[in-house]
Amino acid sequence: MNTVPMESGLVLAGILFILGFIGVLVRRNIVFILLSLEVMLNAAGLAFIFAGSRWVQADGQVMFIFILAMAAAEVSVGLALILQIFRDFKTLDADAANNMRG
Amino acid sequence: MILLWLIAILMIGGIAAWAAAKWNVMLARWIALIATLINFVLVIMLWVQHSGGLTLGANAPWLLDFRWNWIPSFGISFHMALDGMSLLLILLTSFIGVLSVLTSWTEIEYRAGFFHFNLLWILAGITGVFLSLDLFMFYFFWEVMLIPMYFLIGIWGHENRIYASFKFFIFTQASSLFMFVAILALYFIHGKNTGVYTFDYLQLLGTVFTPKAEMWLMFGFLIAFVVKLPIVPLHNWLPDAHTEAPTAGSVVLAALLLKTGAYGILRFVIPLFPHAVRDFQIPGMILGAIGIIYGAILAFAQTDFKRLVAYTSVNHMGFVMLGAFALNELALQGVVMQMLCHGISTGALFILVGALYERIHTRDLNKMGGFWDEIPRMGAVGLVFALASLGLPGLGNFIAEFLTLTGAFMANNWITAIATLGLVASTIYSLRIMARVFYGRKPKVEKHIPDFNVREMIIMGALILSIIWLGIFPHPVLDTSRPAINNIIRTAAAKGSVSQLEKPGTLLPDKAGQVQFAGKNEKGGAR
Amino acid sequence: MLELLWIVPALPFLGFLILALIGSRMPGKTAAAIGVASIGLSALLTVFIGINFISSPPAGRVYIQTLWEWFNVAGLNPGIALRLDAVSLTFIFVITFVGFLIHLYSVEYMEGEEGYSRFFAYMNLFVGSMLMLVLGDNLVLLYLGWEGVGLCSYLLIGFWYKDPANGYAARKAFIVTRVGDTAMAIGLFILFTELGSLNIGRLLEVAPLNWPVGSSMPVLAAALLLGGAVGKSAQLPLQTWLPDAMAGPTPVSALIHAATMVTAGVYLIARMHVIFTLAPVVLTIVGVIGALTLLLAGFSALTQHDIKRVLAYSTISQIGYMFLALGVGAWSAAVFHFMIHAFFKALLFLGAGVVILALHHEQNMFKMGGVRKMIPVTFWTFLIGSASLAALPLVTGGFYSKDLILFYAFDGERANRWLYAAGLLGALITALYTTRMVLLTFFGEAKTHLHHKPTWIMEMPLVVLAVLSTFGGFVELPHTLGHLTLFSDFMQTILPGNQVAEGGISTELILQLTAAVTAILGIFIAYMLYYKNPERVTALRRSAFGSRLHAFWKKGWGFDWLYDTLFVNPIVWIAEVNKSDFIDLIYTFIAWVNRMFNRAFSFTQSGRLRWYAMGIALGAIITLTIAVFL
């Protein structure tokens, strides 16, 4: 069985993570921020999968399923919040919701 | 048990007044007045009852002792006791308490019930401070008087009240945390030394320290007391708090709250840490002298009448510091006198300022002048208390300052000589009060100012009588405080090495408990 | 009889209490009656007590009456106790008697003034305090009287309180004397610390036993007491307050600032003479201060326009004589001059008061003139008083008292020719300014018309004082003229005598002739300069140097300017600059730093989600970097 080397997998996960992170930082639309967050989560999940296959352990896959479950819960709460924010601010711009400014 | 009642009456009265105000504000005032009056009568009775025992019991100065184990596992007990000094101070507290309720009779309209609750709880806290002999209890009451005072300034004060109340709270709270740490350290050091973990003052008196620890602990206590006193350069909360507080608040602050600092120095700092106090004697006296001069110069510069009076407290409390660190009977008796007389004279001046403010709605000296012909009673009262604060003989403050300075002179000539210049300085600011308010030409405002009414004349009459009484026949007061003062000196001397105390001009107690003049009289032989 | 002594000071205090409490509600006549009666009864009682004291003297020539113990702390136990001896008897006699006459005079002088009863209340309080000062048997009680008279002086100078200038003069008087009082207080501390008592009798006993002559402690103590005396008695360098104190009503100037209070310094030094003899250096300084003051004040008196200021400077100058007498150890001569001076200076002030009132509150002498016909009684009594001040030989009391001082200065135990010369020069100047004052006021042509004619209430005190200031001097006559020593014998029951060193009757005669010639010469020069040909004086004053000197003297040798620049202005400046308390800046700074931190941190709390994410990332990177590289 031809296995992908661990290093390239981790690099892929890193690139995905950074892409997601840049997305979080630069996008102002909350929906896209949420999307980018999903990418970051999946990057982390990918890293787990690679690590699991490297050490031939089931833990990696367990963690990925855990992340999937968490992401699902997070998206449902996040989307509800987004709806609420849209109702209050009439916009999806994250920077507009800065009422907690010190 | 009666000691407990003294506090309980005030606390219950406070709650009752708060509750009663829901129906009728006048009822709340009457409840507060009656509660303070009952207290005053009780204290007078105590004084009369014990006046015989005072001169005898030189070795056991405690007239009353009440103890109840509160939290035995931590060595905390509900321990209150009364000696001559605390008797005089609770006498002053209850006297000023009655007067402060009377002065706010027409001044306070807004939330009068809560006002009287706060006022009475401050008084209760102060009474507790003067009576507690358990350091835990002491700290508890120390805080009890703080918080209602904060409300008093913050809710019923003048324009800048929020700033003033915060400043007051931060200064006093921060400084009393030092004391709290010192109390805990004292608790553990004593516990480690003897195996007995206790907060009881009488047991802690015997604690032995390393010199360094003693010095640090003394500073912990001293800083809390010196901020309350206050001493330059830790005095800055005072002018703001006094100026912004309502009249009753200023009176209680000046007449009573400052005295808790002086009391703390005499009761705790000197007997607990005699070596450190002796090492700190010269700096302490210098701080006192600085307070005297600096306070007077600042008082002279003010154009706000109330602020002027506030700074006179800095000036007068300098004498307390000077006398406390002179560490001999003359000076300490002078300090006790100064506490009482300053309470009366400055209290009276604040009431006068308050009454004037009620009438002309300003405290600005530039808008006053020539009031004598319109309000001669106020003028006469102002004159009496301006003279009291410059230390005119025949009024109580003279006795206080004379004793303090004489005692301080024995301890250190030069510092005292400089402090004596404060007499000139206090003359300058006191006469300035008369010149700016009652003498001179009248400003433009041509509105009739009503003179003191009967209620106000009763207040002022009581104050004038007491200051004159203290000035020409202070015997009862001095006799009451003598055993307590001698006990403080003896406690300090018992802990200290005797050779250190035998400086020329220092007073030493001999075996019979009488205090004698040591050092100087041997060489004369003629006396 | 002697046990009634306490009533003497008690009566004025009682009068004060009544007038202070209900005086404003009673009619003016009643108030005046109470004020005068209390002092009158007091004076009467003093006379009885004095007769009793002299006819059957108590043991040790000192009578002490203890009323109660004032306070008692650690050996400091002054009593409210009165001490009657020759010195205090003389003083209380002068205080109550002259005080009574002046009170009586004020009944008319102050009539119709606002605060009529207040005036008598203050005056009674003053007499009471002054009596406590001289009767107190310990220095603390003396200090009580000392401050009490200072207070009354303040209140009475500022009696017409609506004029800010009066208030200023009053404050100046109180504060300047308080400077001296503070020195005196420190002196008391030294005496108590070193000798363990403040009782006068005790101190006089113990001091010579504990202190060798000229050692540092008595010098220090005496110098500090001298500070108090100098302040109260308006001597150099604290003399500046007295001329301004003339802002008060004229009876006040007569009683407080001429006859009684300002001589308290003389009393103090005479009272504590043992301490001063132990400190010969200080005693010499006392003499030098006296000599300098009498000259300086004399020259200033020459240039004044205001009649009351002439008298004020003359008072300073005459007290200078008393200090000179104390300095040469002529104790009883000092007290003698005090008594005579009290009579004639009170007389002069009261006479000046009549003139001032007659001319509708005009005090400038150059606007007076020619009033001798209008108010003849005043003119003659004033003339008698002036003659006494100028020490006209043989017929005036002032001659005998001043001559005694000059005699001791020349020939006594501590004789000093320089002091004598100063005294003689002073006598010349005194005669000069006195004559000038009389000529300007009463002679020449009338410039105004009469406004108020005095009745017997004002004239009676003048006549009595004129008699006293003439015949009062005859209780003490020099060797050359009958040799009567009633007064000094009486004084020397308490105060030490003064041995005359050399000479004899011939020296004394020469001295007297010199003094007499000096006085007459002074009167003659003044007559020539101010009456015969006043152009010469005017010319002198117009000259460049003359005008400058004139201004300099008139302003009292520039002491006011000096003190203003040295003390008053810097202190006021510091107070003004530091009004909001520079220490507060420290706390304001601490609060500011906190607020700055607050602002810096709250800036990071932008409320923007992406900033927070950035923060998390940065934090993670930094943490990782640290973890990896360290």
Q: State the average pLDDT for chain B.
A: 86
CA dist., res. C302 & res. C316, Å (int):
13
What residues of chain C lie within 8 A of the CB of A100, using their CB?
Answer: 605, 607
Q: State the average pLDDT for chain A.
A: 88
pLDDT tier at A72 (50, 70, 90 boundaries)? very high
Report which of C332, C325, C268, C326 is spatially closest to residue C492, judged by C-alpha positions. C332
Question: Average pLDDT, stretch A50-62?
Answer: 88
Least confident of B124-133, B512-521, C494-503: B512-521
Give domain status of residue B462, yes or no: yes
**The pTM is what?**
0.88
Whether residue B522 is predicted with pLDDT greater than 50 in this model: the reply is: no
C192 touches chain B (CB under 8 A): yes
Angle at which helices C116-135 and C7-22 cross, to 10°: 150
* pLDDT score of C612: 85
Token pair for C385: 């008083």
Give domain status of residue B242, yes or no: no
Question: Average pLDDT, stretch B174-178?
Answer: 92
CA dist., res. B321 & res. B338, Å (int):
11
pLDDT tens figures, C575-601: 888 888 888 889 999 999 999 998 888
Token pair for A65: 């399923």
DSSP codes joined into one string, B337-369 = HHHHHHHHHHHHHHHHHHHHHHHHS--BGGG--
Using a CB cutoff of 8 Å and minimum separation of 24, what contacts does B140-147 make? Answer: B142/B176, B142/B179, B142/B224, B142/B260, B143/B176, B145/B121, B145/B257, B145/B260, B146/B172, B146/B173, B146/B176
How many residues does the structure list for chain B? Answer: 527
The alpha-carbon radius of gyration of chain C (Å, integer) is 30
CA dist., res. B427 & res. C177, Å (int):
11
Residues 6+ apart with CB under 8 A from C603: A102
Contact B46, B83 (CB under 8 A): no
Chain C residue with Cα closest to A30 = C609
* pLDDT score of B445: 64
Residue C506: count other Cβ atoms within 10 Å of its Cβ. Answer: 9
Best probe of the C interface among A19, A21, A99, by most C CBs < 10 A, is A21
What residues of chain C lie within 8 A of the CB of B84, using their CB?
Answer: none
* Beta carbons of C179 and B474 less than 8 Å apart: no
Say which DSSP state C58 is in: P
Angle at which helices B161-194 and B135-144 cross, to 10°: 170
Report which of C370, C373, C382 is spatially closest to residue C443, judged by C-alpha positions. C370
What SS3 class is residue A68? helix
Token pair for C173: 């008087």
B30-58: burial string, b at 16+ Cβ within 10 Å, e else: ebbbbbbebbbebbeebbeebeeebeebb
Interchain CB contacts (distance < 8 Å): A and C: 36
Tell me the residue range of the domain where B344 lies.
Answer: 280-527
* Beta carbons of A99 and C607 less than 8 Å apart: yes
Q: CB-hemisphere CA count at 13 Å for B322? A: 36
Contact B50, B86 (CB under 8 A): no
Report which of B376, B231, B250, B219 is spatially closest to residue B294, judged by C-alpha positions. B231
Indicate contact of B with A: 3+ CB pairs under 8 A.
no
* pLDDT score of B518: 40
Question: Average pLDDT, stretch B344-360?
Answer: 91
* pLDDT score of C504: 67
What residues of chain C lie within 8 A of the CB of A41, using their CB?
Answer: none
Task: Pick A24's closest partner by Cβ from C605, C607, C613.
Answer: C613
DSSP codes joined into one string, B214-254 = HHHHHHHHHHHHHHHTT-TTS-THHHHHHHHS-HHHHHHII
What SS3 class is residue C316? helix
| Pairing of β B64-71 and β C484-485 | unpaired
* pLDDT score of B109: 84
Angle at A36 between CA A33 and CA A41, to 5 degrees: 125
Whether residue B525 is predicted with pLDDT greater than 50 in this model: the reply is: no
Token pair for A74: 């997070």
* Beta carbons of C603 and A102 less than 8 Å apart: yes
Contact C269, C326 (CB under 8 A): yes
Whether residue B83 is predicted with pLDDT greater than 50 in this model: the reply is: yes
Give domain status of residue B463, yes or no: yes
Low-confidence ranges of chain C (pLDDT < 70): 482, 499-504
Whether residue B107 is predicted with pLDDT greater than 80 in this model: the reply is: yes
> Comparing C369 with B331, which gets the higher pLDDT?
B331
CA dist., res. B13 & res. C262, Å (int):
57
Say which DSSP state B437 is in: I
* pLDDT score of B55: 52
What residues of chain B lie within 8 A of the CB of C168, using their CB?
Answer: 435
Angle at which helices C264-271 and C331-358 cross, to 10°: 170
Whether residue B330 is predicted with pLDDT greater than 60 in this model: the reply is: yes
B364 has which bridge partners?
Answer: B304
C501 touches chain B (CB under 8 A): no
Token pair for B300: 């002279």
Best probe of the A interface among C599, C610, C621, by most A CBs < 10 A, is C610
Which residues 408-467 in chain C show a CB within 8 A of chain A? none
CA dist., res. C435 & res. C537, Å (int):
14
Number of domains chain B is built from: 1
Chain C residue with Cα closest to B527 = C206
Distance from CA of A1 to the nearest CA of C (A): 35
* Beta carbons of B235 and C189 less than 8 Å apart: no
* pLDDT score of B505: 42
| Pairing of β C79-84 and β B64-71 | unpaired
Best probe of the B interface among C71, C175, C592, by most B CBs < 10 A, is C71
Question: Average pLDDT, stretch B367-372?
Answer: 84
What residues of chain C lie within 8 A of the CB of B297, using their CB?
Answer: 571, 574-575, 578
Whether residue A41 is predicted with pLDDT greater than 50 in this model: the reply is: yes
Give domain status of residue B438, yes or no: yes
Map tokens 């009248």 to a residue: B442
Write a three-state SS string for C88-137: HHHHHHHHHHHHHHHHHHHHHHCCCCCCHHHHHHHHHHHHHHHHHHHHEC
* pLDDT score of B523: 37
Indicate contact of C with B: 3+ CB pairs under 8 A.
yes
pLDDT tens figures, B18-65: 999 888 889 999 999 999 999 999 999 988 887 765 554 445 678 888
* Beta carbons of A25 and C607 less than 8 Å apart: no
Residues 6+ apart with CB under 8 A from C482: none
How many residues does the structure list for chain A? Answer: 102
* pLDDT score of A36: 92
pLDDT tier at A73 (50, 70, 90 boundaries)? very high
* pLDDT score of C475: 80
DSSP codes joined into one string, B484-508 = HHHHHHHHHHHHS-HHHH--TT-EE
Token pair for C585: 């800046």
Tell me the C-alpha to C-alpha distance, in Å, between residue C275 and each of B273, C214, C221, C272, C288: 42, 10, 8, 6, 18
How many residues does the structure list for chain C? Answer: 630
Give domain status of residue B400, yes or no: yes
- What percent of chain B clears pLDDT 90, i.e. is strictly above it? 53
Task: Pick C606's closest partner by Cβ from A26, A28, A101.
Answer: A101
What residues of chain A lie within 8 A of the CB of C616, using their CB?
Answer: none
CA dist., res. C234 & res. C325, Å (int):
16
ipTM field: 0.89
